[in-house]
Amino acid sequence: MTEQMDTGQGKASFTSCTDVRPEVAEFEAYEPGLSMEEIRLRYGLNRVIKLASNENSLGVPPSARKAMLAALDRSFRYPQAGNPRLVRALAARYHVGPERIFVGNGSDEVIDLLFRVRAVPGVHNAVAFSPCFGLYVTQAKMAGVELRRAPLKDDFDFDFAAMLKLVDENTTLVFVTSPDNPSGRLASPELLEELSGALPSSCLLVVDEAYMEFADEGQSLLSRLERLPNVVLMRTFSKIYGLAGLRIGYAILPAVLADYLWRVRLPFSLNVLAEEAALAALADDEFRRESLRVAREGRELISRELRDMGCTVIPSQSNFVMFSPPAGTVSAKDLHTRLLERGMIIRGLGAYRLPDWLRVTVGQEEENLFFISLCREILGA
């Protein structure tokens, strides 16, 4: 195979030493919201609370902190390529062979590699819902792969029939997030199993279970994996394990594919401290139980209170709640701004093309109560 082959990509002629691939030229810079410090200074506040990025409100697990401190002096060494200790620990946790585990620098790296390994630019396509997690969109684009989008239903439930209509013989990846972000809705495992059975034999179904630990028991595809040879499950240490800033994601996938991902991954993409923290957090049942309790109780409280104020609230199986303020009060945008002025950062969903909706991450009880009291005040409810 030469680079000039078929894809059309080899034909673009560069005239300047700063020209870039057309896909790259279309990229817009990632737009971070204002930082907590910027909000504090802008509005002259003493305290700012951030419930915007679905991080674990309990912070870093103490066990992981201790493990990182103990490993600090070893960080002049390269990590062990292939991260065998973490792979073995994950394999033991999920009762699968270690050859079916892949770990990367956040789910972000796993998503990126799936596109690059499974899709030939300009030939293959991928399918996801709209709205969906932004990384599916950006990494498809970066890989030069068409991403087809099936709309969710009006109530943000999954429309698998619409999704299947977009699949053809050149579709090699289908992405479903369950529980979904930003809606918090869960996809029924029965329907996902049906979807996997309806896909062409050359297509892989990727189920992103970043928030599955927060959902009711038995909703993961994990227990069905043995009979689902075309399914990849993605998970992360960023949410229930409280380690978003360390960047650790993983997948359970067919061994052949895991082997290819390991071959092309940057050898040391998971750093020494992250690996130690992940091992400690994985073994920390108490932290996980407490995180689950805080998320479940918090989402019930927030959902009930927002409904009581007249908001439309999507039932959440996750550590965040998506809602829309009642018509005739304030717009989502204004509510967002007025919360900011009071030091409460939540997520506006303009980037998901849902300007009438907001997403709030479940915090600790006191943070949730503060959020609720601010909403009551602003909505006059």
Ligand X SMILES: *Cc1c(COP(=O)(O)O)cnc(C)c1O
E strands within 209-293? 231-236, 249-252
Q: Is the dihedral of CA 99, 215, 229, 157 positive or negative?
A: negative
First-to-last alpha carbon distance for the chain, in angstroms, is 65
Q: Least CB distance from residue 146 to ligand X, whole Å? A: 20
The count of chain residues that interact with ligand X, using the rule CB under 6 A, is 14
Contact 173, 230 (CB under 8 A): no
Q: Least CB distance from residue 27 to ligand X, whole Å? A: 18
Window of 76-84, 90-98, 106-114, 275-283 that interacts with ligand X by CB under 6 A: 106-114
Q: Least CB distance from residue 217 to ligand X, whole Å? A: 21
User: Is 181 among the residues that bind ligand X (CB under 6 A)?
Assistant: yes
Among 106, 131, 348, 363, binds ligand X (CB under 6 A): 106
User: Is 236 among the residues that bind ligand X (CB under 6 A)?
Assistant: yes
Tokens of 162: 């619409």
Which of 256, 241, 218 minimizes the C-alpha distance to 106? 241
User: Is 107 among the residues that bind ligand X (CB under 6 A)?
Assistant: yes
Helices vs strands, H then E, count in the chain:
13, 13
- Cα distance between residue 302 and residue 363, in whole Å: 10
CB contact set of 282 (below 8 Å; sequence gap of 6+): 86, 89, 90, 93, 241
User: Is 244 among the residues that bind ligand X (CB under 6 A)?
Assistant: yes
Query: Between 133 and 160, whose beta carbon lies closer to ligand X?
Result: 133
User: Is 108 among the residues that bind ligand X (CB under 6 A)?
Assistant: yes
User: Is 177 among the residues that bind ligand X (CB under 6 A)?
Assistant: yes
Helix (H) or strand (E) holding 239, with range, is none
Q: Is the dihedral of CA 15, 21, 23, 26 positive or negative?
A: negative
Q: What angle do CA 105, 243, 349 make, to 5 degrees?
A: 85
Amino acid at 332: A
Binding mask 123-162 vs ligand X (x if CB under 6 A, - otherwise)? ----------x-----------------------------
> Which residue has the CB atom at the shortest distance from ligand X?
106
Q: Is the dihedral of CA 192, 194, 198, 203 positive or negative?
A: positive
Window of 105-113, 198-206, 292-300, 305-313 that interacts with ligand X by CB under 6 A: 105-113
Q: For residue 92, is it left (φ>0), alpha (ψ between -120 and 50) or beta?
A: alpha
Binding mask 24-63 vs ligand X (x if CB under 6 A, - otherwise)? ------------------------------x---------
Amino acid at 299: R
Window of 65-73, 231-239, 269-277, 293-301 that interacts with ligand X by CB under 6 A: 231-239
Q: Least CB distance from residue 181 to ligand X, whole Å? A: 4
Query: Between 249 and 298, whose beta carbon lies closer to ligand X?
Result: 249
User: Is 210 among the residues that bind ligand X (CB under 6 A)?
Assistant: yes
Q: Least CB distance from residue 71 to ligand X, whole Å? A: 21
Positions that interact with ligand X (CB under 6 A): 54, 106-108, 133, 177, 181, 208, 210, 236, 238-239, 244, 249
